[in-house]
Structure 1
Amino acid sequence: MQSIATQTRSIVYRTRGHSHGGITRLMSPSDLGESLKPFVFLDIFNMERPMLDAMRAGAGMSIHPHSGIATVTVLTEGRMKFDDPSSGTGTLSYGGVEWLRAGSGVWHGKELTPDNVSLVQGFQLWVALAPDLENGEPESRYIESEGIPSAGPARVILGEYAGVRSPTPAPAGMNYLLVTLKAGASWSYQPPAGHTVGWLAVAKGTLEAEASVRTGDMVIFEDGEVAITVQAGPGGDAVFVLASAIPHPHELHLGNYSVHTSAQALQTGEGRIEELRQRMVAAGSRRTSTGNVPVFR
């Protein structure tokens, strides 16, 4: 196996998070999110039977609200179906993305239903929004795997990398990549100017960076614009997400499911969430024939 480049970013922190069922929380707004903002939350999910059977039956994840953030769900294995009157129907597989800009408020949690597979794996990331977007009009979009472009081994989930731009309508100043490296292969990511925040999390396999990074690890790199260079271990392919960004300059004001830049913006968002809850209850069941419950906004 070839040695990695001499100059690479130092790892300053690593975590394996804490798990509940098939979901592992790697980052929350009240801990690592404060130093990695605009990235404020990260889950990796590994859902197997009977969890997938329960989700198909309408159980599993509960309907819950958000405001002030955008959520980005990307699959690394398996398939999930979406069915939404405003977005049509389709299937997300490796590299497929659900983008949900909650803005002024949404309720969601059951808009994706497992296909006939035995495992669904992926990441859900929250991105803190700037003041001009945090209480703006919500937007949701589903982008199937073939709609997410690649640059070398990387799928460009958010932002722009190596001249390839993601179709996801994310705010400027952040990149989020899904990368699969063949066993023993090396890859170097040069962040754009100003992208001093950098981290990665491994879904499968092992990476060599400054040190070994294993399946289930999330590592944070020192602030700076030095390239991040990694090499997949010899035992098999490595699958991971990597993100960089210009730091979010605003304070984080936290609600139960909301992240805003000020106490006033948080109050506005939570007020809107309550209004939506009342409307959603009055609307009754919205479950589609395929088992999904579309985002309420």
Structure 2
Amino acid sequence: MNAIVEGTLFFNRNTLSERRVRDRTQGSNHGGLTRLVSPSDLGNLIKPFVFLDYFDVAPGGPPMNMHPHSGIATVTLPLSGKTGYYDSTGKQGILSAGGVEWMNAGGGVWHGGGIAGGERLKGYQLWVALPPEDENGSAYSRYLSPEQVPSSGPARVILGRYGQAESPIRTRMPMNYLHVRLKDGERWHYQPPAGHIVAWVATHRGKLRTADWTLQNEIAVFEESSQAIDFGANGDTEFILGSSIGHPHELALGYYSVHTSSEALERGEAEIRRIGRQIQSENLLNRKRHIRVPEYSA
């Protein structure tokens, strides 16, 4: 007999759902970063999710120097360790494991960070493409402590809604971004909300079974469908999952920016150049006053 508890399924049978995996990759490693998704490759398949990095950095590793974005929101999710953050809106602080940084770049922002404390830093940074109404809007950020992230069953709700849990971070485009933990042998059934035809998972720990695949240290993109997805854990398993309606716009790409048109991209890049000049001027002034400020790369 099958029992359902808070979205988790315990089966006597061995079969899983047949929603097929369309693509899978372990990405490309760049020191402490593994690039899993870029806007020019899988990002075109799973937009509005256009970029995903997995980071695994030892204490004393290099900081992420201040750098710009426009047209996107970045979502930083540390799963172990702590990271410091600062941005051109004036926010700064420490984000603990399980917390969330939502940086809505809008028309332009600069931000940076680095390891805080002596523990190894592991987690994910995701870029979400913004719709035309928001891509050149005002920048703002939201930071959640681990206690502020709601959960339903095995899933913590970073963005969107699952079960009775809803993220305090509001997005205009309907999407879910979940952090899921399963114990060895446990199974979980995910029914995407209506219209969520885009779906993917990235594994952080353990081996995750779905359809005919066993996934480990990789991202898997599912075929576009509204069909539910079943998962099974081989060993204690931890992964992230994204689902959304499709992003209906082509991607206009800059070095740090993603927009829906070349005109919007030009406006965004002009704004981040303006902010960069302002930061440079303020840094030079602060150095003369012997005030220590974060370095940045233009």
Indicate the TM-score class for this superposition, using the shorter chain for normalisation: 0.7 to 0.9
Task: Show the counterpart of 2:4.
Answer: none
Q: How does 1:226-241 map to 2 (within 5 A)?
A: 226-233=227-234, 236-241=235-240
Does the 8 Å contact 2:107/2:135 carry over to 1? yes
Task: Show the counterpart of 2:185.
Answer: 184
Does the 8 Å contact 1:2/1:184 carry over to 2? no
Q: 2: CA distance between counterparts of 1:171 and 1:8?
A: 31
Q: 2: CA distance between counterparts of 1:260 and 1:217?
A: 27
| 2:207 partner letter | T
1:88 is displaced (CA, Å) by 6.5
1:114 is displaced (CA, Å) by 2.2
1:5 is displaced (CA, Å) by 4.9
Query: Is there any run of 5+ residues in structure 2 with no aligned partner, and where?
Result: 1-10
Residues 93-119 of structure 1: CA distance to partner in whole angstroms, max 9, x if unpaired? Answer: 1x2101000001011122x542221x1
Task: Show the counterpart of 2:54.
Answer: 44
Does the 8 Å contact 1:160/1:166 carry over to 2? yes
Change (3 A) 1:210 1:292: farther
1:243 is displaced (CA, Å) by 0.5
SS at match of 2:34: strand
Change (3 A) 1:3 1:45: farther
Task: Show the counterpart of 1:92.
Answer: 96
Does the 8 Å contact 2:26/2:36 carry over to 1? yes
Does the 8 Å contact 1:4/1:209 carry over to 2? no
| 2:118 partner letter | N
Residues 187-238 of structure 1: CA distance to partner in whole angstroms, max 9, x if unpaired? Answer: 01100000000000001100110133333110011111111110100xx311
| 1:238 partner letter | T
2:35 paired residue among 8, 18, 25: 25
Task: Show the counterpart of 1:76.
Answer: 79
| 2:75 partner letter | V
Q: 2: CA distance between counterparts of 1:225 and 1:213?
A: 22
1:282 is displaced (CA, Å) by 0.7
SS at match of 2:267: helix
| 2:160 partner letter | G
Establish whether residue 284 from structure 1 lines up as the match of residue 283 from structure 2: yes
**TM-score by structure 2 length?**
0.87
SS at match of 2:134: helix
Change (3 A) 1:14 1:54: closer
Q: 1: CA distance between counterparts of 2:212 and 2:170?
A: 34
Establish whether residue 7 from structure 1 lines up as the match of residue 9 from structure 2: no
| Paired residues, number | 280
Query: Is there any run of 5+ residues in structure 1 with no aligned partner, and where?
Result: none
Change (3 A) 1:292 1:184: farther
1:271 is displaced (CA, Å) by 0.4
SS at match of 1:133: coil
1:6 is displaced (CA, Å) by 4.4
In the TM superposition, structure 1's runs of 4+ consecutive aligned residues that sit over 6 Å from their partners are: none
Larger radius of gyration: 2
Task: Show the counterpart of 1:210.
Answer: 211
| 2:176 partner letter | N
Q: How does 1:126-137 map to 2 (within 5 A)?
A: 126-137=127-138
- Going by fraction, where is strand more abundant, 1 or 2? 2
Task: Show the counterpart of 1:114.
Answer: 116
**TM-score by structure 1 length?**
0.88
Task: Show the counterpart of 1:105.
Answer: 108
RMSD of aligned residue pairs (Cα, Å): 2.3
1:181 is displaced (CA, Å) by 0.6
Does the 8 Å contact 2:16/2:231 carry over to 1? no
Task: Show the counterpart of 2:167.
Answer: 166
